[in-house]
Amino acid sequence: MSSTHHIILLAHGSSDKRWCETFEKLAEPTLNSIENATIAYMELAEPSMETIVAQARASGASQFTVVPLFLAAGRHLRKDVPAMIKEIEQEHNVSMRLADPIGYNPQLGLAIRDVVQEELAKTAN
Amino acid sequence: MSSTHHIILLAHGSSDKRWCETFEKLAEPTLNSIENATIAYMELAEPSMETIVAQARASGASQFTVVPLFLAAGRHLRKDVPAMIKEIEQEHNVSMRLADPIGYNPQLGLAIRDVVQEELAKTAN
């Protein structure tokens, strides 16, 4: 990994602060263990991807991997986000790779199973 | 856990089959390891929560825990889903508990960290 590589955890965004706080909390273990990682929002909240890219660019980053904090890919991830990325790449002269949404990784299915088992344990008590 | 207890993994739903297939795959480890668990969709896809409740009710289930396959709670989980649950409870004479969205459980944040670490490993290759 190059020291100029940056990870962007991309959440949808919402005008509801509680919604964004949930994603900030979800991002914490990643931000605490991985250098040069930041959360960004697609819309309705700040920071935007472009804000993050501009800041990181100023600090020397030129390569970005965008990891969508989405369980599945809908219109946003198939169309809107790739278009935004293309625009930001041209505007800021950077290279951005859009990773699969986190829900495509089997880790998520296993985490969901563990969460449901915790819910069942509550039911048994 | 009572044998009449049923788990509903509630996803939003979409008219895009690929979207629903992603959630079916995410649900697999849960469905394979937990008896009486089913996936249901809030809208735009079948089966609905009501379909699942009616079927499970016919087989003797009367208690349900609904685990939202949502990372955060927006309007749907704060308003629409509780209203749907209230209606189904009255209509089918069952008891339904709405659990927190999966994103509130720390397991998810850890899974996200692992996913991002896998993405970083790809970058290093």
Which residue among A22, A33, A111 places its CB closest to the CB of B111? A111
Interface test with B, best of A114, A117, A125 (most B CBs within 10 A): A114
Q: What residue in B sits closest to A98 (Cα-Cα)?
A: B119
Q: Give contacts of B71 with chain A, Cβ < 8 Å.
A: 11, 22-23, 26, 69-71
Are the beta carbons of B35 and B85 closer than 8 angstroms?
Answer: no
Contact A71 B30 (CB under 8 A): no
Are the beta carbons of A59 and A27 closer than 8 angstroms?
Answer: no
Q: What residue in B sits closest to A75 (Cα-Cα)?
A: B16
Q: What is the mean pLDDT of each run of 10 residues along chain A (125 residues)?
A: 79 95 98 96 96 96 97 95 98 97 98 96 80
Query: Quick check: helix, strand or coil at residue A3?
Result: coil
By residue range, what is the domain housing residue B67?
5-124
Which residue among A1, A19, A72 places its CB closest to the CB of B123? A1
Amino acid at A7: I
Q: What is the pLDDT of residues A36-69, one digit of tens each?
A: 999 999 999 999 999 999 999 999 999 999 999 9
Q: Give contacts of A102 with chain B, Cβ < 8 Å.
A: 111-112, 115
Q: Say how far apart CA A105 and CA A97 lie, in whole Å.
A: 17
Q: What residue in A sits closest to B19 (Cα-Cα)?
A: A72
Chain B: give the shortest CA distance to residue A30, in Å.
4
Cα angle: A29, vertex A2, A6; to 5 degrees: 45
Are the beta carbons of A9 and A67 closer than 8 angstroms?
Answer: yes
pTM value > 0.80: yes
Q: What residue in A sits closest to B63 (Cα-Cα)?
A: A123
Number of domains in chain B: 1
Q: Is B15 exposed, middle or buried (0-12, 13-18, 19+ CB in 10 A)?
A: exposed
Q: Say how far apart CA A79 and CA A116 lie, in whole Å.
A: 32
Residue that is written with structure tokens 């896998």 in the block: B118
Largest separation between any pair of C-alpha atoms in chain B: 57
Find how far residue B53's CA is from the centre of its chain.
Answer: 13
Are the beta carbons of B106 and A106 closer than 8 angstroms?
Answer: no
* Model ipTM value: 0.94
Q: Say how far apart CA B95 and CA A121 lie, in whole Å.
A: 17
Report the pLDDT averaged over residues B67-73: 97
Contact B108 A111 (CB under 8 A): yes
Q: What is the pLDDT of residues B83-110, one digit of tens each?
A: 999 999 999 999 999 999 999 999 999 9
For residue B29, the model assigns a pLDDT of 98
Cis peptide, bond prior to residue A47, ω within 30 of zero: yes
CATH number at residue B21: 3.40.50.1400
**Which phi and psi angles does A80 have, rounded to 5°?**
-65, -50
Q: Give contacts of A26 with chain B, Cβ < 8 Å.
A: 71, 103, 108-109, 112
Q: Say how far apart CA A111 and CA B106 lie, in whole Å.
A: 9
